[in-house]
Structure 1
Amino acid sequence: MGKAMLKIVTGLVIGVVLWVVTMALEFPPVFRWLFFGYAMLGTVVFLILDAPNLKPMSGVKAVGALLVFYAVMCTVYIAGASLWPQYDPEDEKGKIDKILKPKRAATEQGKADELIARAKALDEQAKALAERIKALGGDQASGAQAAGGPGAPPSTTGAAGGDILKIGEDQWQLQECYNCHKLKGEGGKKRGPELDNIGSYLTVDDIKQKILDPKSWMAEGFEKEFEKGKMPDKYKDLMEEKDVVALATWLVTFKDTSVNTPKPIKKK
Protein backbone atom coordinates (compact mmCIF):
# COMPACT_ATOMS: atom_id res chain seq x y z
CA MET A 1 0.00 0.00 0.00
CA GLY A 2 2.84 2.35 0.84
CA LYS A 3 4.36 1.75 -2.58
CA ALA A 4 1.08 2.62 -4.30
CA MET A 5 0.73 5.85 -2.28
CA LEU A 6 4.26 6.86 -3.25
CA LYS A 7 3.39 6.42 -6.94
CA ILE A 8 0.15 8.41 -6.54
CA VAL A 9 1.99 11.28 -4.81
CA THR A 10 4.73 11.20 -7.45
CA GLY A 11 2.12 11.34 -10.23
CA LEU A 12 0.36 14.29 -8.57
CA VAL A 13 3.63 16.18 -8.18
CA ILE A 14 4.54 15.60 -11.83
CA GLY A 15 1.04 16.70 -12.86
CA VAL A 16 1.29 19.92 -10.84
CA VAL A 17 4.76 20.66 -12.25
CA LEU A 18 3.46 20.20 -15.80
CA TRP A 19 0.50 22.46 -15.02
CA VAL A 20 2.77 25.23 -13.67
CA VAL A 21 5.21 24.98 -16.59
CA THR A 22 2.45 25.09 -19.23
CA MET A 23 0.82 28.01 -17.42
CA ALA A 24 4.15 29.89 -17.38
CA LEU A 25 4.47 29.24 -21.12
CA GLU A 26 0.94 30.63 -21.58
CA PHE A 27 -0.53 27.39 -22.90
CA PRO A 28 -4.34 27.40 -23.22
CA PRO A 29 -6.14 25.82 -20.22
CA VAL A 30 -7.18 22.79 -22.28
CA PHE A 31 -3.51 21.90 -22.83
CA ARG A 32 -2.73 22.32 -19.12
CA TRP A 33 -5.45 19.84 -18.29
CA LEU A 34 -4.19 17.56 -21.03
CA PHE A 35 -0.65 17.39 -19.61
CA PHE A 36 -2.02 16.91 -16.10
CA GLY A 37 -4.20 14.07 -17.42
CA TYR A 38 -1.18 12.41 -19.03
CA ALA A 39 0.60 12.50 -15.65
CA MET A 40 -2.39 10.84 -14.00
CA LEU A 41 -2.64 8.28 -16.79
CA GLY A 42 1.02 7.38 -16.28
CA THR A 43 0.37 7.01 -12.56
CA VAL A 44 -2.49 4.60 -13.24
CA VAL A 45 -0.29 2.56 -15.57
CA PHE A 46 2.42 2.20 -12.91
CA LEU A 47 -0.19 1.23 -10.31
CA ILE A 48 -1.53 -1.47 -12.63
CA LEU A 49 1.97 -2.88 -13.00
CA ASP A 50 2.01 -3.58 -9.27
CA ALA A 51 -1.48 -5.09 -9.25
CA PRO A 52 -1.76 -8.84 -8.60
CA ASN A 53 -2.12 -11.12 -11.58
CA LEU A 54 -5.62 -12.04 -12.64
CA LYS A 55 -6.67 -15.62 -12.61
CA PRO A 56 -6.72 -17.22 -16.05
CA MET A 57 -10.17 -17.15 -17.66
CA SER A 58 -11.62 -19.16 -20.49
CA GLY A 59 -14.83 -19.67 -22.41
CA VAL A 60 -17.73 -17.23 -22.16
CA LYS A 61 -16.20 -15.51 -19.14
CA ALA A 62 -13.01 -14.66 -21.07
CA VAL A 63 -15.00 -13.33 -24.05
CA GLY A 64 -17.11 -11.19 -21.73
CA ALA A 65 -14.06 -9.79 -19.98
CA LEU A 66 -12.49 -8.98 -23.35
CA LEU A 67 -15.62 -7.14 -24.50
CA VAL A 68 -15.77 -5.16 -21.25
CA PHE A 69 -12.09 -4.22 -21.60
CA TYR A 70 -12.69 -3.17 -25.21
CA ALA A 71 -15.68 -1.02 -24.20
CA VAL A 72 -13.72 0.64 -21.40
CA MET A 73 -10.76 1.42 -23.67
CA CYS A 74 -13.02 2.84 -26.40
CA THR A 75 -14.71 5.07 -23.83
CA VAL A 76 -11.37 6.27 -22.50
CA TYR A 77 -9.94 7.01 -25.95
CA ILE A 78 -13.09 8.77 -27.17
CA ALA A 79 -13.35 10.83 -23.99
CA GLY A 80 -9.67 11.67 -24.18
CA ALA A 81 -9.93 12.71 -27.82
CA SER A 82 -12.85 14.98 -27.01
CA LEU A 83 -10.56 16.96 -24.68
CA TRP A 84 -8.30 17.92 -27.58
CA PRO A 85 -8.97 21.30 -29.23
CA GLN A 86 -11.17 20.59 -32.23
CA TYR A 87 -10.10 22.05 -35.59
CA ASP A 88 -12.76 24.35 -36.99
CA PRO A 89 -11.86 25.78 -40.45
CA GLU A 90 -14.15 28.78 -40.01
CA ASP A 91 -12.67 29.51 -36.60
CA GLU A 92 -9.13 29.29 -37.97
CA LYS A 93 -10.11 31.47 -40.92
CA GLY A 94 -11.45 34.07 -38.50
CA LYS A 95 -8.17 34.03 -36.56
CA ILE A 96 -6.14 34.47 -39.77
CA ASP A 97 -8.39 37.31 -40.94
CA LYS A 98 -7.99 39.01 -37.58
CA ILE A 99 -4.20 38.84 -37.86
CA LEU A 100 -4.04 39.93 -41.50
CA LYS A 101 -6.75 42.59 -41.42
CA PRO A 102 -4.47 45.44 -40.20
CA LYS A 103 -1.81 44.49 -42.76
CA ARG A 104 -4.35 44.35 -45.58
CA ALA A 105 -5.79 47.69 -44.55
CA ALA A 106 -2.33 49.25 -44.55
CA THR A 107 -1.53 47.78 -47.97
CA GLU A 108 -4.83 48.90 -49.49
CA GLN A 109 -4.39 52.36 -48.04
CA GLY A 110 -0.91 52.51 -49.55
CA LYS A 111 -2.23 51.53 -52.96
CA ALA A 112 -5.04 54.05 -52.68
CA ASP A 113 -2.61 56.82 -51.76
CA GLU A 114 -0.37 55.86 -54.68
CA LEU A 115 -3.29 55.91 -57.13
CA ILE A 116 -4.51 59.26 -55.81
CA ALA A 117 -1.03 60.75 -56.14
CA ARG A 118 -0.72 59.36 -59.68
CA ALA A 119 -4.13 60.70 -60.64
CA LYS A 120 -3.18 64.15 -59.33
CA ALA A 121 0.07 64.07 -61.31
CA LEU A 122 -1.75 63.07 -64.50
CA ASP A 123 -4.33 65.77 -63.91
CA GLU A 124 -1.59 68.37 -63.58
CA GLN A 125 0.02 67.15 -66.83
CA ALA A 126 -3.33 67.25 -68.61
CA LYS A 127 -3.96 70.82 -67.41
CA ALA A 128 -0.50 71.88 -68.55
CA LEU A 129 -1.09 70.34 -72.00
CA ALA A 130 -4.48 72.03 -72.24
CA GLU A 131 -2.88 75.39 -71.47
CA ARG A 132 -0.22 74.86 -74.13
CA ILE A 133 -2.81 73.88 -76.72
CA LYS A 134 -4.89 76.90 -75.80
CA ALA A 135 -1.83 79.12 -76.18
CA LEU A 136 -1.31 77.73 -79.71
CA GLY A 137 -4.72 78.89 -80.80
CA GLY A 138 -6.44 75.52 -80.58
CA ASP A 139 -6.93 74.70 -84.26
CA GLN A 140 -3.43 74.90 -85.71
CA ALA A 141 -3.07 71.11 -85.96
CA SER A 142 -6.25 70.73 -88.01
CA GLY A 143 -5.43 73.78 -90.14
CA ALA A 144 -1.95 72.50 -90.93
CA GLN A 145 -3.27 69.08 -91.88
CA ALA A 146 -5.81 70.61 -94.25
CA ALA A 147 -3.14 72.79 -95.84
CA GLY A 148 -0.99 69.80 -96.64
CA GLY A 149 -3.82 67.81 -98.20
CA PRO A 150 -5.89 64.93 -96.83
CA GLY A 151 -4.02 63.06 -94.14
CA ALA A 152 -0.88 65.19 -94.40
CA PRO A 153 0.88 66.06 -91.15
CA PRO A 154 1.11 69.72 -90.11
CA SER A 155 4.28 71.56 -90.88
CA THR A 156 6.85 71.00 -88.19
CA THR A 157 8.85 74.09 -89.05
CA GLY A 158 8.71 77.02 -86.70
CA ALA A 159 7.59 77.30 -83.11
CA ALA A 160 3.99 76.19 -83.72
CA GLY A 161 4.91 72.94 -85.47
CA GLY A 162 7.53 72.12 -82.88
CA ASP A 163 5.00 72.66 -80.12
CA ILE A 164 2.51 70.33 -81.79
CA LEU A 165 5.09 67.54 -81.98
CA LYS A 166 6.07 68.14 -78.37
CA ILE A 167 2.42 67.93 -77.33
CA GLY A 168 2.09 64.71 -79.33
CA GLU A 169 5.11 63.23 -77.56
CA ASP A 170 3.70 64.33 -74.21
CA GLN A 171 0.43 62.59 -75.06
CA TRP A 172 2.36 59.40 -75.84
CA GLN A 173 3.76 59.54 -72.32
CA LEU A 174 0.56 60.74 -70.67
CA GLN A 175 -1.62 58.01 -72.18
CA GLU A 176 1.13 55.44 -71.50
CA CYS A 177 1.12 54.14 -75.08
CA TYR A 178 4.55 52.66 -74.39
CA ASN A 179 2.92 49.94 -72.27
CA CYS A 180 1.86 48.14 -75.47
CA HIS A 181 3.88 49.71 -78.29
CA LYS A 182 7.62 49.89 -78.80
CA LEU A 183 9.07 53.09 -80.22
CA LYS A 184 12.66 54.21 -80.57
CA GLY A 185 13.71 50.95 -78.91
CA GLU A 186 11.78 51.68 -75.72
CA GLY A 187 8.59 50.29 -74.17
CA GLY A 188 6.30 47.61 -75.52
CA LYS A 189 5.10 44.30 -74.08
CA LYS A 190 4.26 42.64 -77.42
CA ARG A 191 0.59 43.49 -77.08
CA GLY A 192 0.93 45.92 -79.96
CA PRO A 193 3.24 46.45 -82.96
CA GLU A 194 6.40 48.54 -83.07
CA LEU A 195 5.65 51.96 -84.53
CA ASP A 196 9.03 53.23 -85.74
CA ASN A 197 7.89 53.02 -89.39
CA ILE A 198 4.19 53.75 -88.93
CA GLY A 199 4.48 57.01 -90.88
CA SER A 200 5.30 55.03 -94.03
CA TYR A 201 1.91 53.30 -93.88
CA LEU A 202 -0.63 55.62 -92.29
CA THR A 203 -1.59 59.28 -92.52
CA VAL A 204 -2.54 61.55 -89.65
CA ASP A 205 -6.23 60.85 -90.32
CA ASP A 206 -5.59 57.09 -90.32
CA ILE A 207 -3.73 57.16 -87.01
CA LYS A 208 -6.36 59.42 -85.51
CA GLN A 209 -9.06 56.97 -86.60
CA LYS A 210 -7.13 54.06 -85.05
CA ILE A 211 -6.76 55.89 -81.72
CA LEU A 212 -10.45 56.79 -81.50
CA ASP A 213 -11.71 53.49 -82.94
CA PRO A 214 -9.22 50.63 -82.31
CA LYS A 215 -11.28 48.27 -84.50
CA SER A 216 -10.81 50.46 -87.58
CA TRP A 217 -7.28 49.15 -88.32
CA MET A 218 -5.51 45.88 -87.57
CA ALA A 219 -1.75 45.27 -87.59
CA GLU A 220 -0.67 42.34 -89.71
CA GLY A 221 0.33 39.45 -87.42
CA PHE A 222 -1.70 40.81 -84.50
CA GLU A 223 -4.99 39.13 -85.41
CA LYS A 224 -5.43 37.52 -81.99
CA GLU A 225 -4.78 40.77 -80.16
CA PHE A 226 -7.22 42.52 -82.50
CA GLU A 227 -9.98 39.98 -81.86
CA LYS A 228 -9.46 40.18 -78.10
CA GLY A 229 -9.63 43.96 -78.20
CA LYS A 230 -6.22 44.45 -76.59
CA MET A 231 -6.17 48.14 -77.54
CA PRO A 232 -8.66 49.82 -75.20
CA ASP A 233 -11.59 51.76 -76.62
CA LYS A 234 -11.28 54.61 -74.14
CA TYR A 235 -9.24 57.33 -75.76
CA LYS A 236 -12.24 58.97 -77.41
CA ASP A 237 -13.40 59.75 -73.86
CA LEU A 238 -9.99 60.50 -72.34
CA MET A 239 -8.53 62.70 -75.07
CA GLU A 240 -9.66 65.89 -76.72
CA GLU A 241 -9.62 66.25 -80.51
CA LYS A 242 -6.55 68.45 -80.35
CA ASP A 243 -4.66 65.89 -78.26
CA VAL A 244 -5.45 63.10 -80.72
CA VAL A 245 -4.34 65.22 -83.69
CA ALA A 246 -1.09 66.14 -81.91
CA LEU A 247 -0.33 62.50 -81.10
CA ALA A 248 -1.14 61.35 -84.65
CA THR A 249 0.98 64.18 -86.07
CA TRP A 250 3.93 63.12 -83.92
CA LEU A 251 3.58 59.43 -84.80
CA VAL A 252 3.35 60.05 -88.54
CA THR A 253 6.88 61.52 -88.48
CA PHE A 254 8.31 58.06 -87.69
CA LYS A 255 9.44 56.51 -90.98
CA ASP A 256 12.36 54.31 -90.02
CA THR A 257 12.25 51.58 -92.68
CA SER A 258 14.94 49.57 -90.86
CA VAL A 259 12.32 48.65 -88.26
CA ASN A 260 9.83 45.96 -89.23
CA THR A 261 6.61 47.76 -88.37
CA PRO A 262 3.69 45.42 -89.27
CA LYS A 263 1.53 46.51 -92.20
CA PRO A 264 -1.75 48.06 -91.08
CA ILE A 265 -4.92 46.49 -92.55
CA LYS A 266 -8.03 48.67 -92.76
CA LYS A 267 -11.05 47.00 -91.20
CA LYS A 268 -13.62 49.81 -91.35
Structure 2
Amino acid sequence: MGNIFKKLGIGSAVGAVLVGIARSQDVPVDFQLLFFVVSLIGAIVFMLLDAQPIGTMSGGKSVFAVMAFWILLVTVCVAGASLLPQFDPEDEKVKIGKLLDKERKQSSQGKAEELIARAKALDEQVKALEDRLKGIGGGQAATATSAPPARDKPSAASDGGSGASSDVMKVGEEQWQLQECYNCHKLRGEGGKKRGPELDNIGSLLTVEEIQQKIADPKSFMAEGYEKEWQKGIMPDKFKDLMDPKEMSALATWLGSFKNASVNTPKPIKKK
Protein backbone atom coordinates (compact mmCIF):
# COMPACT_ATOMS: atom_id res chain seq x y z
CA MET A 1 0.00 0.00 0.00
CA GLY A 2 2.86 2.31 0.84
CA ASN A 3 4.30 1.72 -2.63
CA ILE A 4 1.03 2.90 -4.20
CA PHE A 5 1.05 6.19 -2.29
CA LYS A 6 4.71 6.65 -3.13
CA LYS A 7 4.07 6.37 -6.86
CA LEU A 8 1.02 8.61 -6.64
CA GLY A 9 3.17 11.18 -4.87
CA ILE A 10 5.84 10.96 -7.55
CA GLY A 11 3.21 11.33 -10.28
CA SER A 12 1.69 14.34 -8.53
CA ALA A 13 5.11 15.95 -8.08
CA VAL A 14 5.96 15.45 -11.75
CA GLY A 15 2.57 16.89 -12.71
CA ALA A 16 3.13 19.91 -10.48
CA VAL A 17 6.52 20.55 -12.10
CA LEU A 18 5.00 20.31 -15.58
CA VAL A 19 2.20 22.69 -14.59
CA GLY A 20 4.74 25.16 -13.19
CA ILE A 21 6.80 25.09 -16.38
CA ALA A 22 3.69 25.46 -18.54
CA ARG A 23 2.46 28.39 -16.46
CA SER A 24 5.83 30.16 -16.75
CA GLN A 25 5.53 29.87 -20.55
CA ASP A 26 1.96 31.24 -20.53
CA VAL A 27 0.51 27.91 -21.66
CA PRO A 28 -3.32 27.91 -21.45
CA VAL A 29 -4.85 26.46 -18.27
CA ASP A 30 -6.51 23.69 -20.28
CA PHE A 31 -3.15 22.28 -21.26
CA GLN A 32 -1.75 22.71 -17.75
CA LEU A 33 -4.55 20.49 -16.45
CA LEU A 34 -3.89 18.00 -19.23
CA PHE A 35 -0.20 17.75 -18.26
CA PHE A 36 -1.13 17.03 -14.65
CA VAL A 37 -3.65 14.33 -15.60
CA VAL A 38 -1.13 12.64 -17.91
CA SER A 39 1.37 12.53 -15.03
CA LEU A 40 -1.21 10.85 -12.79
CA ILE A 41 -2.04 8.34 -15.54
CA GLY A 42 1.65 7.51 -15.79
CA ALA A 43 1.76 6.88 -12.04
CA ILE A 44 -1.29 4.60 -12.29
CA VAL A 45 0.37 2.62 -15.09
CA PHE A 46 3.43 2.03 -12.92
CA MET A 47 1.16 0.90 -10.07
CA LEU A 48 -0.54 -1.60 -12.37
CA LEU A 49 2.84 -3.00 -13.35
CA ASP A 50 3.49 -3.81 -9.69
CA ALA A 51 0.05 -5.37 -9.17
CA GLN A 52 -0.38 -9.09 -8.57
CA PRO A 53 -0.79 -11.09 -11.81
CA ILE A 54 -4.25 -12.42 -12.60
CA GLY A 55 -4.68 -16.16 -12.58
CA THR A 56 -4.89 -18.13 -15.81
CA MET A 57 -8.33 -18.13 -17.43
CA SER A 58 -9.82 -20.23 -20.20
CA GLY A 59 -13.01 -20.63 -22.15
CA GLY A 60 -15.87 -18.23 -21.76
CA LYS A 61 -14.38 -16.77 -18.61
CA SER A 62 -11.33 -15.48 -20.48
CA VAL A 63 -13.50 -13.99 -23.25
CA PHE A 64 -15.65 -12.24 -20.67
CA ALA A 65 -12.57 -10.92 -18.86
CA VAL A 66 -11.07 -9.48 -22.07
CA MET A 67 -14.36 -7.84 -23.04
CA ALA A 68 -14.79 -6.40 -19.56
CA PHE A 69 -11.25 -5.03 -19.64
CA TRP A 70 -11.77 -3.28 -22.98
CA ILE A 71 -15.15 -1.90 -21.95
CA LEU A 72 -13.60 -0.53 -18.77
CA LEU A 73 -10.67 0.92 -20.69
CA VAL A 74 -12.88 2.60 -23.31
CA THR A 75 -15.22 3.94 -20.64
CA VAL A 76 -12.37 5.44 -18.66
CA CYS A 77 -10.82 7.00 -21.77
CA VAL A 78 -14.08 8.46 -23.06
CA ALA A 79 -15.23 9.66 -19.65
CA GLY A 80 -11.84 11.11 -18.86
CA ALA A 81 -11.64 12.89 -22.20
CA SER A 82 -15.13 14.32 -21.76
CA LEU A 83 -14.16 15.73 -18.36
CA LEU A 84 -11.15 17.53 -19.81
CA PRO A 85 -11.60 20.93 -21.52
CA GLN A 86 -12.47 20.46 -25.17
CA PHE A 87 -10.67 22.16 -28.05
CA ASP A 88 -13.02 24.53 -29.86
CA PRO A 89 -11.55 25.89 -33.14
CA GLU A 90 -13.90 28.85 -33.18
CA ASP A 91 -12.96 29.77 -29.63
CA GLU A 92 -9.28 29.56 -30.54
CA LYS A 93 -9.86 31.78 -33.58
CA VAL A 94 -11.40 34.42 -31.33
CA LYS A 95 -8.42 34.25 -28.96
CA ILE A 96 -5.92 34.50 -31.81
CA GLY A 97 -7.89 37.36 -33.34
CA LYS A 98 -7.71 39.31 -30.08
CA LEU A 99 -3.94 38.82 -29.90
CA LEU A 100 -3.46 39.87 -33.52
CA ASP A 101 -5.71 42.91 -33.10
CA LYS A 102 -3.61 44.06 -30.17
CA GLU A 103 -0.38 43.66 -32.14
CA ARG A 104 -1.88 45.30 -35.23
CA LYS A 105 -3.00 48.36 -33.28
CA GLN A 106 0.51 48.80 -31.91
CA SER A 107 2.14 48.48 -35.35
CA SER A 108 2.48 51.21 -37.98
CA GLN A 109 -0.01 49.36 -40.17
CA GLY A 110 -2.53 49.37 -37.36
CA LYS A 111 -2.05 53.10 -36.81
CA ALA A 112 -2.50 53.69 -40.53
CA GLU A 113 -5.69 51.63 -40.53
CA GLU A 114 -6.94 53.63 -37.56
CA LEU A 115 -6.26 56.90 -39.41
CA ILE A 116 -8.04 55.58 -42.49
CA ALA A 117 -11.04 54.62 -40.37
CA ARG A 118 -11.12 58.10 -38.85
CA ALA A 119 -10.86 59.66 -42.30
CA LYS A 120 -13.80 57.57 -43.49
CA ALA A 121 -15.82 58.62 -40.46
CA LEU A 122 -15.05 62.28 -41.14
CA ASP A 123 -15.97 61.81 -44.79
CA GLU A 124 -19.33 60.41 -43.76
CA GLN A 125 -19.89 63.39 -41.48
CA VAL A 126 -19.06 65.78 -44.33
CA LYS A 127 -21.52 63.99 -46.61
CA ALA A 128 -24.18 64.22 -43.90
CA LEU A 129 -23.57 67.97 -43.60
CA GLU A 130 -23.79 68.37 -47.37
CA ASP A 131 -27.12 66.56 -47.37
CA ARG A 132 -28.40 68.86 -44.64
CA LEU A 133 -27.25 71.92 -46.59
CA LYS A 134 -29.02 70.68 -49.68
CA GLY A 135 -32.12 70.13 -47.59
CA ILE A 136 -32.21 73.79 -46.53
CA GLY A 137 -31.42 75.08 -50.02
CA GLY A 138 -27.74 75.73 -49.54
CA GLY A 139 -26.50 72.86 -51.62
CA GLN A 140 -26.05 74.90 -54.77
CA ALA A 141 -24.12 77.61 -52.96
CA ALA A 142 -21.85 75.08 -51.35
CA THR A 143 -21.23 73.40 -54.70
CA ALA A 144 -20.48 76.70 -56.40
CA THR A 145 -18.08 77.71 -53.64
CA SER A 146 -16.19 74.42 -53.61
CA ALA A 147 -15.86 74.11 -57.40
CA PRO A 148 -12.75 75.91 -58.74
CA PRO A 149 -13.23 78.38 -61.61
CA ALA A 150 -12.69 76.93 -65.05
CA ARG A 151 -9.91 79.43 -65.77
CA ASP A 152 -7.89 78.16 -62.80
CA LYS A 153 -7.72 74.60 -64.10
CA PRO A 154 -4.33 73.75 -65.54
CA SER A 155 -4.29 72.99 -69.21
CA ALA A 156 -3.26 69.67 -70.66
CA ALA A 157 -0.14 71.29 -72.06
CA SER A 158 0.96 72.55 -68.67
CA ASP A 159 0.34 69.12 -67.14
CA GLY A 160 2.50 67.54 -69.78
CA GLY A 161 5.23 70.12 -69.23
CA SER A 162 5.19 69.53 -65.50
CA GLY A 163 5.46 65.78 -66.01
CA ALA A 164 8.34 66.18 -68.45
CA SER A 165 10.17 68.49 -66.04
CA SER A 166 9.69 65.98 -63.24
CA ASP A 167 11.15 63.23 -65.43
CA VAL A 168 14.19 65.35 -66.26
CA MET A 169 14.81 66.05 -62.58
CA LYS A 170 14.50 62.36 -61.78
CA VAL A 171 17.01 61.41 -64.48
CA GLY A 172 19.36 64.15 -63.29
CA GLU A 173 19.32 62.92 -59.71
CA GLU A 174 19.84 59.35 -60.93
CA GLN A 175 22.92 60.45 -62.87
CA TRP A 176 24.25 62.21 -59.77
CA GLN A 177 24.08 58.86 -57.99
CA LEU A 178 25.26 56.71 -60.91
CA GLN A 179 28.30 58.87 -61.68
CA GLU A 180 29.10 59.06 -57.94
CA CYS A 181 29.43 62.84 -58.01
CA TYR A 182 28.89 62.82 -54.25
CA ASN A 183 32.38 61.38 -53.76
CA CYS A 184 33.89 64.81 -54.45
CA HIS A 185 31.01 67.28 -54.10
CA LYS A 186 28.85 68.02 -51.10
CA LEU A 187 25.16 68.58 -51.76
CA ARG A 188 22.25 68.85 -49.34
CA GLY A 189 24.67 68.21 -46.50
CA GLU A 190 25.79 64.85 -47.90
CA GLY A 191 28.89 63.62 -49.71
CA GLY A 192 32.10 65.54 -50.34
CA LYS A 193 34.50 62.94 -48.94
CA LYS A 194 37.21 64.20 -51.32
CA ARG A 195 38.10 67.80 -51.99
CA GLY A 196 35.50 69.40 -54.21
CA PRO A 197 33.30 72.54 -54.09
CA GLU A 198 29.93 72.44 -52.38
CA LEU A 199 27.14 72.77 -54.95
CA ASP A 200 24.03 73.83 -53.02
CA ASN A 201 24.08 77.30 -54.66
CA ILE A 202 25.53 76.39 -58.05
CA GLY A 203 22.26 77.27 -59.81
CA SER A 204 22.71 80.92 -58.79
CA LEU A 205 26.25 81.08 -60.19
CA LEU A 206 26.04 79.15 -63.46
CA THR A 207 23.38 78.60 -66.08
CA VAL A 208 22.29 75.09 -66.99
CA GLU A 209 24.31 75.33 -70.21
CA GLU A 210 27.43 76.38 -68.29
CA ILE A 211 26.98 73.54 -65.80
CA GLN A 212 26.69 71.10 -68.69
CA GLN A 213 29.85 72.59 -70.24
CA LYS A 214 31.70 72.13 -66.94
CA ILE A 215 30.60 68.48 -66.73
CA ALA A 216 31.69 67.75 -70.30
CA ASP A 217 34.91 69.77 -70.05
CA PRO A 218 36.17 70.13 -66.44
CA LYS A 219 38.80 72.67 -67.56
CA SER A 220 36.16 75.11 -68.83
CA PHE A 221 35.50 76.55 -65.34
CA MET A 222 37.58 76.72 -62.17
CA ALA A 223 36.05 77.04 -58.71
CA GLU A 224 37.52 79.94 -56.76
CA GLY A 225 39.89 78.58 -54.11
CA TYR A 226 40.35 75.29 -55.96
CA GLU A 227 43.25 76.31 -58.22
CA LYS A 228 45.44 73.33 -57.28
CA GLU A 229 42.64 70.84 -57.85
CA TRP A 230 41.87 72.45 -61.22
CA GLN A 231 45.51 72.31 -62.30
CA LYS A 232 45.86 68.67 -61.22
CA GLY A 233 42.68 67.75 -63.07
CA ILE A 234 40.99 66.22 -60.03
CA MET A 235 37.65 66.26 -61.84
CA PRO A 236 37.96 63.53 -64.50
CA ASP A 237 37.36 64.24 -68.16
CA LYS A 238 35.23 61.15 -68.73
CA PHE A 239 31.60 62.08 -68.16
CA LYS A 240 30.97 63.02 -71.80
CA ASP A 241 31.71 59.37 -72.60
CA LEU A 242 29.70 57.93 -69.70
CA MET A 243 26.53 59.94 -70.33
CA ASP A 244 24.61 60.69 -73.48
CA PRO A 245 23.64 64.35 -74.15
CA LYS A 246 20.15 63.94 -72.65
CA GLU A 247 21.49 62.46 -69.44
CA MET A 248 24.14 65.15 -69.12
CA SER A 249 21.54 67.84 -69.78
CA ALA A 250 19.27 66.31 -67.14
CA LEU A 251 22.09 66.31 -64.59
CA ALA A 252 22.90 69.94 -65.39
CA THR A 253 19.22 70.90 -65.11
CA TRP A 254 18.91 69.15 -61.78
CA LEU A 255 22.04 70.84 -60.40
CA GLY A 256 20.83 74.18 -61.75
CA SER A 257 17.77 73.92 -59.50
CA PHE A 258 19.95 74.27 -56.38
CA LYS A 259 19.97 77.93 -55.40
CA ASN A 260 20.56 77.95 -51.67
CA ALA A 261 22.24 81.31 -51.04
CA SER A 262 22.98 80.38 -47.42
CA VAL A 263 25.59 77.87 -48.64
CA ASN A 264 28.97 79.28 -49.64
CA THR A 265 29.39 77.67 -53.05
CA PRO A 266 32.72 78.85 -54.57
CA LYS A 267 32.42 81.27 -57.47
CA PRO A 268 33.17 79.58 -60.82
CA ILE A 269 35.78 81.33 -62.97
CA LYS A 270 35.48 80.80 -66.72
CA LYS A 271 38.67 79.45 -68.27
CA LYS A 272 37.55 78.60 -71.79
| TM-score exceeds 0.5 | no
Indicate the TM-score class for this superposition, using the shorter chain for normalisation: 0.3 to 0.5
Give the TM-score normalised by structure 2.
0.40
TM-score if structure 1 supplies the norm length? 0.40
